[in-house]
Every structure is written in C-alpha cells, then in structure tokens.
Structure 1
Amino acid sequence: MTYEPGTVWQYEVPTTGSAHLPPDAGYGKALTNQGYGFEVAIADLIDNSIDAGADEIVVHFLRDAKRILTLLIIDNGRGMDDAGLDAAMTVGRRRDYGESALGMYGTGLKAASLSHASSLTVVSRTKRSRAAGRRLTAEGIEDGFRCDTVDPRYAQELVDRYDGIIEWHGTIVRWDQVRAFETVTTGQSDHYLSKAIARLETHLGLYLHRFLQNGLKLDIAVWDVSSGEGRLGEEVDHIAVEALDPFGYKVPGKAGYPRTFTAPVEGLGDVRLTAHIWPAKSKQAGFRQIGSLADRQGFYFYRNDRLVQAGGWNGLRNPEGHLALARVAVDLPSHENSVLSLDVKKESVTVTPAFTLGVEKAVDASGNTFHGFLGDAEAAYREGAKRTEIVRKPVTLPGKGIDPKIKRVVKEELPEKPGEEPIAFSWVSLPGDKFFDLDRENNTVLLNKAFRSDFNDGRRGGSNDAPVTKTLLYLLLEDCFGLGRWERGRQDRVDYWNTILLAAAGAHRERRAQAAD
C-alpha cells in the first residue's frame, strides 16, 4: 500500500520490503543462558523421547572413582536418520508438531542441553537406517553454527552398549563437560549424585506422573566405569521413577470432591476446572514430598497430559496457609491461544485477566461456585487443624542402596530429622565374624558381601537388592547414627545383633543348600 505521511501512524506500521537476517554467532551464547534448572532441562529432553513414541527411557550418569563423567538419556523411540538429526540440531529451526506433541517451540534440545553442558551429542537409529550421530558444541556455534558428524563406528558402538533398551530403534542424548559436574570436588561425587538424583526423581515423578501411571518406564541409573566387568562398568545405583500424583489422595478432605467447574473465559470458551481438596495432615508423597504446601496450592496446568505448572494462583489470589489443601487441575488446549501461554521451559503458565475473570464466575453442574470450593477447602483445613495426632520421633532417612518405594513410604510415615545425611547401604568385604558393620562417619551400613548371594537367590543382585534385609537393618540401626558420644551399651547391642544375625544367615544358607540337594 502507498503510505501517506501522518495518515495511519496510530494503527499500523507500513513496510516497504523484507530481508532474511541469519543470527549472529553470538546468539549461541543465549542458548547457554536460558535459565533452565537441571531437572527442568532433563524433563524437556524426555518430552522429545515421549514424542518419538518411547515407552522406556533411562537417565544414565557415568562416573569413575574420582569424578562424574557424563550424562546420557537413552530411549527406545522411533529414532532419526541423518536428515532428521540435521533438522533436530539446527538452531532456531521449528518443526511441525502434532496436536498431541509435548514439544512446542523447537529449541528445547539445544537450549536445555547447552544451558548445562558445553557439548551435546545425539546418536540415533531407525528401523531403516544405520546408527548416526551429530555433535553440537558451544565453540561450534560461535564458529558459524558448525555441527560435527559423529564417526559412524562410534555411533554404532554406543547404540550396541545400550542394546537392552535400543533394540531396533532409539536415540541417545549425551552431555559432556557438564558444568555442575566439573564443580564437584574429589570425594564428593556420591554426595552430589544422591541429592541431584533425589531432586530429579521428584521432578520427573511429578511433572510426568500421568505418563508414568499409563505405563511409561523411566529409570535413573549410575554406573562406575572404573569397576566391574560389564561393558558399562558396575551399576552402583538404580531408581525406577514412580508417579507422584498431586491429586492421588485415597479419601478427599471433604465429601463430594473432586468437583468440575466450568469457567466462561472470553477468547477461549468454557474451561473445565477440576477442584480437589486434600485430607488435612496427609502424609502421602503426592502432598508432602513435592515442595512446600504454600507453593503447591492452586492451579495445576496440563498440556497433553504433561504437567507444566504445579501450583500457584496466577493472580487470582495470594497463597494462604488455610488454602493448603486446595488444588485445581486444568487441561490446556493443545493449540496456541491469546489467553493462556506456556513458557519455553514448560514450567509456568501466563494468563490474561480473561482467565481469572472466568474463574471468578465458574460454577459446577449443581450451581456450586468456585468461591464455594475455596470456602470448603478452608473449612477442611481448619477442621483438620483441630485434630490431635500422635507425634512420631524424627528419623534419619534411608538413602543409597534402599529401594525408592521403601524410601518413599518411610518419608510418608516418619518425620525427617533435619540436617542428617541419609543412611546408605553398601556390600563390602568384612571379617567372617561380622554380618554388618557401621561407618558412622559416612552414615553407611556395611554389609558382608559374602552373604549377598544368599539374599538374592544366588544371583549378583542390583544396587537396591535384598530389600527386606536392608529395611529391617535400617529400622534396627537408624538410631545408631547422628550421635555424639558412642556409648558402651550401644556397642554391646551392635555386637550381639551381629552375632544373632550371623547365626540367622548361616541357618538361611543351610536351608538353601538342603533345598538344592
């Protein structure tokens, strides 16, 4: 259109042409400063695996005796050929997403990875193509967005190492020069990994809980490549991530809930709000173990069954202690809209006033209002606060070597003793007159590995093996840690427990031998 000066300046900006301007290489530095938390970045990569049809995914930490080496995410999804890998590693390229896809913006793989690692490698194969790989580094981006081609022999070797997961097709994402790993000092790897894996397990269990409940198998494993005889070394920790359902109560905090309200939202239509009231003082993991109760009240937004915001009132009201039991599930439309927008990291939703105004008017099929729900949640909280309960003594929680399901139940049943490192379990060589020993300096129960096969049906067992034996020992020995002076009477108890357990282990071995004859 022909521009007449001063005629349309209030309403639009006229243009006279256009030009394609490729990004400056300095743009690559922005990829390393996206503000991705570690757990958020891993979840973003797992979204890609789920979009590729994977139903088995492993987050794999590799370490040696001194340091944490690298991190890999392995899946059995459809995989990518050379063209697909080139597209996936192109910075700024946005692919077409289906209605049910978890991906949205096309930046997650690169931005999430390079926020934490200086080198990103992706190796993949499909049913119809050989293993291939690409590597993107911070230096390569600064060098005109250079992407390196991985040696096909290495790509095939890496795929072969994970043939228990990748059979005919799948993808491996590898991070090298992970900045957080490089800050871990010698001797602190166990401590760092313990805390990092606990946070990761909670985050993935919460944000992917619907997928986990529907059959997704998601594991976190640690291998020490400096020990063991396997191709990957020795597995020193393994966790099967369990769903942490933020609405997984057994009995609601008030009869008649959950209730579904309909909010008339201008520009979006009717939005369904499923309102829940948790029982007061619940100890379930989905209530207590996903963060502070103040932060976790409010809206839980989902997009295509993936949780993208866990709590918060989005301007509707401020968090209040007496609303700690109130949670509301909202499924976002999969298409983009002007009312509800998801941030690129997929951990928060921005709403316009149209949404909060619609929520204020929301009612259910019986005419109950959303404000009535908030009143019910507050009443349930106040009623629960009046009840007295038995106060259980705080304990030092179990740690490495105990099955995660057991650890979760302990956390639900017993309060945590603050400031104590979890009690770990480790099979080591001990004298024949000891079934166990205590390393109180490192909060570890040492088990005599001469008896390990006896409690694993003759097999080697994994890092979380012999769950009943370890749990009973934990309950027996928990109060032996975190003490000041070590009393003679307590040592005497440890000595006779050892003697009795040695006799029990010997009887168990004899019965197994008799059964084998």
Structure 2
Amino acid sequence: MARPVPVPVTVRRVEPDPSITSAIGRHHSLPTAIADLVDNSVDAGARHVLIRIVQRDERAHGLMVIDDGEGMDGDRIDAAMAYARRREYGASDLGHFGIGLKAASLSQADVLLVWSRRWGSPPVGRGLERSSLDSGPMVQSFSSDDASTRLEDVDPGFPIDTGTVVEWRNVRTFLQSPDPDEQRHWLERTVEDLRTHLGLVLHRILAGARVQVRIDVVEETCPEFGASAARTVKTLDPFGYDRSGHPEYPQELRVPLADGSARATMHIWPAHGRDDIGFTLGGRSPLESQGLYVYRRDRLLQAGGWNDLVSPSRDLSFARIAVELDPVLEPHITINPEKTGVIFDAELSDGWHTTRSASGGKFAGYLDAARAGARQARRRNPRPVHVVEPGRGMTAKVAEAFEDHATYVPGEDPVDMRWRGLAADEVFRIDRDSRTIWLNSRYRTALGGSVGLANDDAQVVKTLLHLLLGGHLRGSYAGHRERRLETAWQAILLAAVQEQQRAVDRRRGSATGQGDE
C-alpha cells in the first residue's frame, strides 16, 4: 500500500531559468514555422499573404512574411514579442499558445524583425535575437521613421496601408552550400514543400477564399522582380475525392464523452483515386496519410495517424476521418506547439471504441469496411512479385506501384534506400541492422540522382536495386549464396557506373573545349 503524501512544510515559487525560452520551438520544421506565421496573418484579417525568400548572390539567406491585415500598434506588438504573456484569442482565431511568432521564427533564424502599421497609430518595429534568449529575451524597439521606411521598401504586389512584415535574417535552416546547382535544387524543393504544407493545413481556409497565400523568391538587390513570379498556394484537400470508395460513407460519428460528444466524419477514399494529389498529399506514403485529420477552426492540426486507436496498416490506406476540435472536445486533446499533432486523453481514446454513428454503425464496422475495400482493390490486380516492403527513399507513386503489383514478405520491416559516402569500390552496401541499402553518394549523378539533400531521386535505379537486393535483408545475416551474388552484382554495377562517369566527363570536356582532339 502506498504511503500518503506528507504535508509540505513550506511552499515557494521557483522562477524558470531564462534559458528555457531557447528550447521552445525546437521541433519546428521550415514549413511548420512559416505556417504558424501565416496563422497570425489570417487572425489579423489579412486578405493577402506573401512568403518571400530573399537571396544574396543566388544563395537564400533571409525570409519575409508580408500581410495586409489590421496591423499592430505599440501595445499589440509588445504583447506579440513577449514570451511570458498570452493574449486573449477570439472565437475564430487560429492562435493557441501565444508563443508562435517567437518560437517559430527563432527556431529557424538568428534574428527576428517585426514591422507593422495599424490605422490611427504610427508604424512600429521590434527585433529579437536568438543569442539573447539564454539570458532572457531582449526585445529591441525601432523608431517610427525606421519602421515606416522599412514598410515602404517592401513591395509584395498588393497594398499594405495596414499590415505586418515579419522578417527573418540569417536563417540557419536554409541550405548553406555555395554550389549554385544545389541551391537551385534545394530552393525549388523548398518552395514546393511550402506550397504542399500550407495548401494542406489551410485547405479549408483557402477554399473559402478568406485569404490568398503566395510564395516568391527575390534577389536582395532587386526585390521588385519578385511579386510578378509569385506562385500561389493551392488547396490540397485530403477529402477531395470525386465519389466515395464505399456507398455507406462518408458517415457521421459521435464519440461519447462525459460532457457531450465529439464530432467526426468517417471517409473511405475510392481505389481509383490513388493517383489524385489529395490522396498522395505531396508524396506521403499510405501508412502516413491514413487515419485522423483533426481540425481546429478550419485549420488542420494533424494530417493522418491513428493516435494509438488502431495500428497503421496497408489495409487501412483508404481510411480517413475528419475530427472537429470544438469546445466539447478541447479539454480532451493536447495540441503540440508546432500544430502538427494532437494527443488524446484516456476518456476520448476509450470513447472511440464504444461509439455509434448516426446511422447505427460502429467505429469497428468502419474499419472493417475500409479494410475490405483495400483488399478488394488488391485482388483486382495480379501481384506476381514477392518482395520486402520498400521504405524511405521511394516516392509515394513508386510505393503505391509496389502496393498494387507486389506482395510483401510477412514479418519483415520495410527496407530504406539512402545515400552516404562509401568506398570507391562500392556502389551499394547492405546494412541489415538498420534495414537500409546504402547507395554511394560519390556515384550519385551516374546513378541518376540529383544534387541536394532530397532522398526522392534516382527512382528507377532505387526500384531496380530494391527488386534485386531487397530479399537479401531477410533474416539477420547473409548466407554464402547471398554473399557471392552481392559480390558479383557489386562488380558489375561498379563497371557500369565507372563507364557512365567516363561518358559524363567526356561530355563535360567537349562542352568546355577540353575534350579529345
């Protein structure tokens, strides 16, 4: 039997160490950090938002988020820059914790600058440097003249008689490589990742025409050329199928709670819609994109995942449930600071398995229907290929092709395909402990790969190597026959790669006038 807790002799307040502020926001990615700033713009009533990546000599180093919202006066901007103050949010506001501006910005950049103008108030400007966080945030104030000048210098392509400019300088999470080709590849991928993330998490808001969000890239010395080439963020609806994959769905679900019931809508994607962008969601795998889509005030907080209600499964690939976070549900959910996931309390988790839908079905019945649909879709296609399931390194499209035309070895975890530096006589290396086939990055171009940090390149080579080598990761060690085959394949591939590199070198020599006479 546990002893009772003693009565305390004294109680005193222990102030947090100022350095705790530097830990806030560490789990932000670039897309989630920018989404947090766009949330603030939407809350400010903006009709237009421009995300601007600023380059210097073709290398990205800064970023701006510009809006035409209601703007801030001195009191409001001071509240926005404070870590220890949480403002009151309206019933439709997307803000939640009161730290998004600072945490999101300084998770990515060394310097945060905010410039704003509100009707009837002089322009204001504030600054915050990441280096000041460990000793306690030190907020800088700028003159109204400097704030006015900065606001006038910005040309987003729409009027900003009122509005706010959030500026990041020395962005640490931007690619640091001086190679122009790597910079261009990274920049294109980054812009598309931003469009995908924002199009997904804001899809209801964008579809309602409440705000237009665009992205441009400008050279620091000539920013006037940016707005004309801006790319619009388009809606990416995870429930945007043309017709349901099951005649009884979508179907409303009420999850019983002590103080009411949570609202959800169960959907089953059609098998014929697996190629739609609303299903692939920018390259997510079916295991990542199935499950719960949690909305708060039309802003998507969680895109997929089952929150331990069931285990992800390829048999649930078409199952998606929209959950509305309303006042009844809010006490039972914890939102992570990056707004990329939620945690259910025990009462809410238990309620899912006892709930009934409006038409009399159960959550378990919905899962059965989704599983049956996925199995039927697979039965329509003969699958003569028997392989280990592919993991990271394949795009969603390729992974879907494996799903459609191959059966997976039961009991085997997926095999990743990734790049790393290997010895000159290795094209690949099989790592059974980490379930990874490593490809030699020194031969990346010859293997059809691209420069940069992305791992979704060289899909033809990766697919062929997975079909060739994937079965060799079954079990914890390689037998004599497997080792002989790997040695032979290594030698053959190395000869092909070296021949390909020589051809590339000859073409480069011809282009520069240094080839054979």
Name the TM-score, length of structure 1 as normaliser.
0.69
User: Who is 2:279 aligned against?
Assistant: 287
Summarize the Cα distance change of 1:236–1:97 in structure 2 as closer, same or farther, 3 Å threshold: closer
Contact 1:224/1:235, CA 8 A, preserved across alignment: no
Q: Return the letter of the residue paired with 1:306.
A: R
Tell me how large the CA RMSD over aligned residues is.
3.0
Q: How does 1:254-293 map to 2 (within 5 A)?
A: 254-266=246-258, 268-282=259-273, 283-290=275-282, 291-293=284-286
- Does residue 96 of structure 1 match 2:74? no
Contact 1:75/1:166, CA 8 A, preserved across alignment: no
User: Who is 1:204 aligned against?
Assistant: 198
- Does residue 171 of structure 1 match 2:168? no
Contact 2:250/2:266, CA 8 A, preserved across alignment: yes
CA distance in 2: counterparts of 1:55 and 1:138, whole angstroms? 30
User: Who is 1:351 aligned against?
Assistant: 344
The one of 181, 190, 193 equivalent to 2:187 is: 193
The one of 358, 362, 368 equivalent to 2:361 is: 368
User: Who is 1:218 aligned against?
Assistant: 213
Summarize the Cα distance change of 1:307–1:337 in structure 2 as closer, same or farther, 3 Å threshold: closer
User: Who is 2:335 aligned against?
Assistant: 342
User: Deviation digits for residues 459-509 of structure 1, max 9, x if unmatched?
Assistant: xxxxxxxxxxxxxxxxxxxxxxx99979xxxxxxxxxxxxxxxxxxxxxxx
Displacement over 6 Å in runs of 4+: 482-486
User: Deviation digits for residues 354-373 of structure 1, max 9, x if unmatched?
Assistant: 22221112222221122111
User: Who is 1:455 aligned against?
Assistant: none
- Does residue 148 of structure 1 match 2:143? no
Contact 2:157/2:228, CA 8 A, preserved across alignment: no
Q: Return the letter of the residue paired with 1:42.
A: I
CA distance in 1: counterparts of 2:168 and 2:131, whole angstroms? 15
Q: How far is the alpha carbon of 1:224 from its aligned partner? A: 2.0
Q: How far is the alpha carbon of 1:10 from its aligned partner? A: 3.4
CA distance in 1: counterparts of 2:293 and 2:102, whole angstroms? 27
- Does residue 332 of structure 1 match 2:325? yes
Summarize the Cα distance change of 1:350–1:234 in structure 2 as closer, same or farther, 3 Å threshold: closer
Q: How far is the alpha carbon of 1:158 from its aligned partner? A: 2.5
User: Who is 2:439 aligned against?
Assistant: none
Contact 1:159/1:166, CA 8 A, preserved across alignment: no
- Does residue 41 of structure 1 match 2:21? no
Summarize the Cα distance change of 1:115–1:15 in structure 2 as closer, same or farther, 3 Å threshold: farther
Contact 2:296/2:325, CA 8 A, preserved across alignment: yes
Q: Return the letter of the residue paired with 2:198.
A: L
- Does residue 311 of structure 1 match 2:311? no
The one of 314, 324, 340 equivalent to 1:321 is: 314
Contact 1:99/1:334, CA 8 A, preserved across alignment: no
Q: How does 1:115-134 map to 2 (within 5 A)?
A: 115-134=107-126
Over the matched positions of the two proteins, sequence identity in percent amounts to 36
- Does residue 77 of structure 1 match 2:64? no
CA distance in 1: counterparts of 2:372 and 2:175, whole angstroms? 50
Contact 2:31/2:197, CA 8 A, preserved across alignment: yes
Q: Return the letter of the residue paired with 1:238.
A: A
CA distance in 2: counterparts of 1:223 and 1:316, whole angstroms? 46
CA distance in 2: counterparts of 1:419 and 1:384, whole angstroms? 33
Contact 1:122/1:174, CA 8 A, preserved across alignment: yes
Q: SS where residue 263 of structure 2 aligns?
A: strand
Q: How far is the alpha carbon of 1:269 from its aligned partner? A: 2.0
Q: How does 1:437-452 map to 2 (within 5 A)?
A: none
CA distance in 2: counterparts of 1:146 and 1:64, whole angstroms? 28
CA distance in 1: counterparts of 2:352 and 2:232, whole angstroms? 38
- Does residue 238 of structure 1 match 2:230? yes
User: Deviation digits for residues 273-310 of structure 1, max 9, x if unmatched?
Assistant: 20000011421101013411111111111111111011
Q: How far is the alpha carbon of 1:83 from its aligned partner? A: 1.4
299-308 or 331-340, which deviates more: 331-340
CA distance in 1: counterparts of 2:311 and 2:94, whole angstroms? 30
Summarize the Cα distance change of 1:385–1:293 in structure 2 as closer, same or farther, 3 Å threshold: same
Q: How does 1:379-398 map to 2 (within 5 A)?
A: 379-388=372-381
Summarize the Cα distance change of 1:306–1:111 in structure 2 as closer, same or farther, 3 Å threshold: same
Contact 1:40/1:347, CA 8 A, preserved across alignment: yes
Q: Which runs of 5+ in 1 are unaligned?
A: 1-8, 390-410, 423-481, 487-517
Name the TM-score, length of structure 2 as normaliser.
0.69
Contact 1:264/1:271, CA 8 A, preserved across alignment: yes
Q: Return the letter of the residue paired with 1:364.
A: S
